Amino acid sequence: MLLKAEIIAVGTELILGQIPNTNAQVISQALQEIGIDVYYHICVGDNKERLKEVFQTSFKRSDIIILTGGLGPTEDDLTKETVAEYLNLPLKLDENSLNRMKDYFKKTGRQIANNNYKQALIPEGAIAIENKNGTAPGVLLKYGDKIIVMLPGPPREMEPMLKETVIPYLSKMSTTTIFSRILKFYGIGESDLEERLKDLIDSQTVPTIAPLVGRAGEVTIRLTAKAGSKEEAQKIIRPTEEEIIKRTREYFYGFDNDSVEEIVAKLLIKLNKTISIAESCTGGLLAHKLTNIPGISASFDRGIISYSNRSKHELLNVKNETLENYGAVSEETAKEMAEGIRLSSGTDIGVSVTGIAGPDGGTAEKPVGLVYIGYADSSTVCAQRHIFSGRRIDIKERSANSALHLVRKMLQKLENPSNR
């Protein structure tokens, strides 16, 4: 049986456009992977009458209804109350949830407030879902042949509850699997990539082939197949996947949730190499990305954010004459920064970024978006020139991403010298 699901996000802040409904996207992706079709996303405000009307429509047409938001302690929060009322179920205190909430408050050094108690109420017959990152438990309710799930609105609370409890529970009920494989590329545009694969895309049946523009200069392709099991779907996808990678090898860098920072971190650890970072226009973003990966402290020694010329000279030994003759944004400075941080920190690799993130500070000769990435190891010192467009934050993102891809390529050469 094919299960139909829909997602109801509750919150006036959503329909006022104050925050985006990112939860619907995350939940849809997770349901799709376990073969459950999502047919509708709904957003409705914190209004009992309208929520009830929306829930009634969803309850009649779908097998699984996932609600997010409206589980907070305030009077505005009425998701559980409304659903329970519609289904004629009383709300009962869940002792476990209350105890966890008390522990949570104790741990964060705060007092439990009176209105938090209502967060521990769940509809009779429901199972509470533990919330490790907040106070509101989630609710999993089997009602006749329908499943109703209620999760908190904040993504950092919702996502772990979805992945650790809701998806494992629902996947037991689904008999088909939709399996997607994502291939990730860097250094090639969407249309160029599409032209290389035109014959495959034009004649596609199974798997389906969908190119998507990714973030910060990346392009991705999604291959999707439906089958009785994940293994079967993978078997359907594999020949197309291999053909695509064969044709695009120099741009392909990873699968699915691979991130370039994770690939770099794993290569550093695997190859037992240490790294240090000297960054200017990215202002810490490059090191931030790399240090998002657990375990990186084995390889990452230090970073220097040399915003001023003085700090480039004092901390990175960039020569004053280099700064005077070529400027802080130049190939020469990028190289000296990379070599300077490598030598002063005693790491195997040094990487640097210097550029103009804007919105001011550009000239005709050195426009906003001009960025140099430097790289140094014991045998190589080199730099790359880029011109990126967009806002200050986009230029920072693109620059940090480029630096990571440069380090990835250099590490992959070290890992497999014959290959590239």
Considering only residues 251 to 290 of the shown chain, the ones binding a second copy according to CB under 8 A are: 277, 279, 282-288, 290
Site residues for a second copy, window 154-183 (CB under 8 A)?
154, 156, 160, 180
- Segment near a second copy (CB under 8 A), from 112-120, 162-170, 236-244, 375-383? 112-120
> Going by C-beta distance under 8 Å and a sequence separation of 6 or more, which residues neighbour residue 236?
206, 207, 225, 227
If one asks whether residue 13 binds a second copy (CB under 8 A), the answer comes out as: yes
CB 282 within 8 A of CB 399: yes
Pairing of β 218-227 and β 177-186: antiparallel
> Going by C-beta distance under 8 Å and a sequence separation of 6 or more, which residues neighbour residue 167?
30, 31, 33, 34
Site residues for a second copy, window 132-151 (CB under 8 A)?
132-133
Q: How far is CA 179 from CA 44, 77, 167, 220, 239, in A?
A: 31, 36, 15, 16, 15
If one asks whether residue 417 binds a second copy (CB under 8 A), the answer comes out as: no
CB 278 within 8 A of CB 303: yes
d(CA 119, CA 142): 20
Name the minimum Å distance from CB 107 to a second copy: 7
**Which two tokens mark 300?**
């990452």
Quick one: 216 or 263, whose CB is closer to a second copy? 216
Residue 147 exposed, middle or buried by CB count within 10 Å (0-12, 13-18, 19+): buried
> Going by C-beta distance under 8 Å and a sequence separation of 6 or more, which residues neighbour residue 294?
none
Q: Which helix (DSSP H) or strand (DSSP E) does residue 355 occupy?
A: strand 349-355
Return the residue of 168, 243, 325, 393 that touches a second copy, per CB under 8 A: 393
The angle, 0 to 180 degrees and rounded to 10, between the axes of the packed helices 331-345 and 309-316 is: 40
Quick one: 210 or 236, whose CB is closer to a second copy? 210
d(CA 115, CA 297): 42
- Segment near a second copy (CB under 8 A), from 84-92, 161-169, 190-198, 410-418? 190-198
Quick one: 126 or 303, whose CB is closer to a second copy? 303
d(CA 179, CA 233): 6
Phi then psi dihedrals of residue 340, to 5 deg:
-60, -45
Return the residue of 143, 146, 211, 362 that touches a second copy, per CB under 8 A: 211
d(CA 113, CA 379): 62
Quick one: 2 or 213, whose CB is closer to a second copy? 213
Return the residue of 85, 232, 258, 301 that touches a second copy, per CB under 8 A: 301
d(CA 385, CA 261): 21
Quick one: 126 or 398, whose CB is closer to a second copy? 398
- Segment near a second copy (CB under 8 A), from 83-91, 164-172, 232-240, 294-302? 294-302
- Segment near a second copy (CB under 8 A), from 167-175, 231-239, 293-301, 329-337? 293-301
Return the residue of 27, 183, 244, 353 that touches a second copy, per CB under 8 A: 27
If one asks whether residue 375 binds a second copy (CB under 8 A), the answer comes out as: no
Name the minimum Å distance from CB 125 to a second copy: 28
d(CA 125, CA 133): 24
**Which two tokens mark 157?**
């609370």
Quick one: 42 or 334, whose CB is closer to a second copy? 42
Quick one: 126 or 264, whose CB is closer to a second copy? 264
Which amino acid is present at 302? R
Site residues for a second copy, window 318-357 (CB under 8 A)?
345, 357
Quick one: 302 or 319, whose CB is closer to a second copy? 302
If one asks whether residue 221 binds a second copy (CB under 8 A), the answer comes out as: no
If one asks whether residue 190 binds a second copy (CB under 8 A), the answer comes out as: yes
Return the residue of 24, 140, 166, 219 that touches a second copy, per CB under 8 A: 24
323-336 b/e (C-beta count within 10 Å ≥ 16 → b):
beeeebbbbbbbbb
Name the minimum Å distance from CB 142 to a second copy: 24
Name the minimum Å distance from CB 308 to a second copy: 5
> Going by C-beta distance under 8 Å and a sequence separation of 6 or more, which residues neighbour residue 88?
none
If one asks whether residue 317 binds a second copy (CB under 8 A), the answer comes out as: no
Name the minimum Å distance from CB 41 to a second copy: 4
Site residues for a second copy, window 229-248 (CB under 8 A)?
none
If one asks whether residue 114 binds a second copy (CB under 8 A), the answer comes out as: yes
